[in-house]
A and B are shown apart, each in its own frame.
Chain A
Amino acid sequence: MTGNAPTTETPPPQWELAAPILEFHQVSFKGTGETSIRMNKFSATIRTGELVEVELERQHNPRDLVSMMLGLNPPDAGEVLYSQQDWLGIDYARHFQMRSEIGRVFAGSAWIQSLTLRDNIHLAMRHHGVTETDAEEKVEHWIQRLSGHQLAKVKWALKKRPSVVEPSVLALCQLIRAMANHPRLLILERPLRFMLESLYDNFVSAVDDLRASGTAVLFFAGGRDEYRLEFRSPVISWRIINGTMNTNGRRRP
């Protein structure tokens, strides 16, 4: 075949992959406790707009794994990249800037107990230069969006310290804090554990809207009801097999 001969082959489809937000390259991680989720030469990528669902068993605690993803604990081996930047070195200002773009709902302790919930929710935004008016507006928007019939309770709770607020309201406030500053990556650790079922639809639509605007979502689902949420397709599933994260997942029926 000569170089100028006409070809009958159709050119390969030219689509562009969405930008990678969180990348794992051969990551090994043991964690600190028996309930920690491990990684064994784990490689995967979460891209803008993607939703990755990880199904947790009752005994699993994703906290230290997520902290490793955020560069707070180093992995035993391999590399974790956020927005194509690593967590290595002593450029702490860059690391903190990167973390400020990530929304996180914590499994377990999530609040600074000496501050009110309002101050807790505003804290990161104000620290990273969002004006008080803008922060108020954003928080108000997400309160209206997520709270449903719990609206009055949430507004009351904002003036209180976390220790006197009931868990279902705290769960809502955690979501508000994580979503308020339009994160590029949203990591949810058992976000619905204490949330009322009647608010699940609000949660799903909020997550889908964030995805539509480019947020990548890593969702550690912690209960049967959570596996059945109707997110917009595609939903990528990762599984935990023998306590180790695996990308060969499939949504539970």
Chain B
Amino acid sequence: MPVRRGSEYKEKGKRDAKRHREKQKQAIKKEIRKIISESSIITQKKGKKVKIPIREIVIPDFRPGNRKDEGENTRSGIGQGSGKKGAVIGRRPGSGQQPGKPGDMPGEDYIESEVDIEEVISLMLEDLGLPNLKEKEDRAKLETVTGFRISGITRSGPNILLEKRQTGKRGIGRFYAYLETLKEETGKDELTCYTALKEADGILGEALNLLEEGIETRFSQVEPFPIFDSEDMRYMNIKEEKTRHSNAVIFAMMDVSASMTTDKKYLARSMLFWINEFLKQMYEHVEVRFIVHHAKARFVDEDSFFKTGESGGTRCAEAYKLARSTIESQYPTDTWNVYLFHFSDGEDWDSEATISEAKKLIDDIKVNMLGYGEIRLNGRPFSSGLKNAFEKELNVNSVEIDEMDVIVGKKEHPFLGIVIKDKDHILPAIQEFLKKERWRS
């Protein structure tokens, strides 16, 4: 008979598909600096997935193209339909395009992949964490993931987590389903059908062929054996095991005065957005308080922190003061780890007051870290900028890391200042701020 059941083939695609996705991830990693500097990520609605258009990996070959379009990789082709010269027939996302705006017409070599913020973070921030974290008396809240435990069953997973009992049960279920099908379709008795299924190693099509050719019953009773198909596989689900640490609170402070232009604010927000997202993922129950300041400082909620635009003069000391009084009343440093991250453009009406507040935070209150990022676009130097004042007045060393000016305090003086000049500095600056090993002697 020319039309017959095929013998089932071993599944191949999955493994190679996984390999392709790994290659895509490596490609994302290469572009991570660009991805995290995308503005649409930090202005998006909460809880929404970040969509990053990812090209599928293409093997390069000699193909027609346009030498002028280096990088954009525009194509041409033949198509059909009504329409005159100039009519638009489709769109796809360009490489310079912001994520979150997928084209409505995916091109041939284009796959729109969704990537979680978590995934981006785990790709960019390996081996990072809160520096100078200390054991405090109350170890109630702060948790990190330190291991895994089994919890429940899922339909996919690595072989090592195969749940043998559940999978076996389904395999036996399939055995009986096949046996019934064989009986029904051939009208032969159970033992004959069983013999055929056994001979065919559980492959239905082959068992049918055997029965058609005629087969002798070789067994006196049915001994069911499991027959597996990919959809029968069950795997153990694993959950993270957590370790508790002492409490931690983060003060995210941002200058929103008139001199902070949209571009500067955008850099400051990007930095704080990623630091915040990272800490939320790394530590459960870490508290983050948001302060904006111009000549005055006030607390805002997370949403407005990443959105507000204000104007006015600048007194950085106001933000430090507000943070200090809050620490004293709500987050005493004998039970809390306290971190401050402050971003400004370095213009400060009263840098002396700021330095004195910074000293109080570091030396008197003994916060775990004061991080300061100075946003200077176009490399414009402020000779009187806050960073220069910090450099002069605090006990710090000046170094250059990844083309950024960095000032670092000693262990007993946990201050870190970085000058951020453009988008490309976002990732290395975050990596400096969150270097877990810093101040560990």
Question: Does B bind A?
Answer: no
B residues touching A (Cβ–Cβ < 8 Å)? none
A residues touching B (Cβ–Cβ < 8 Å)? none
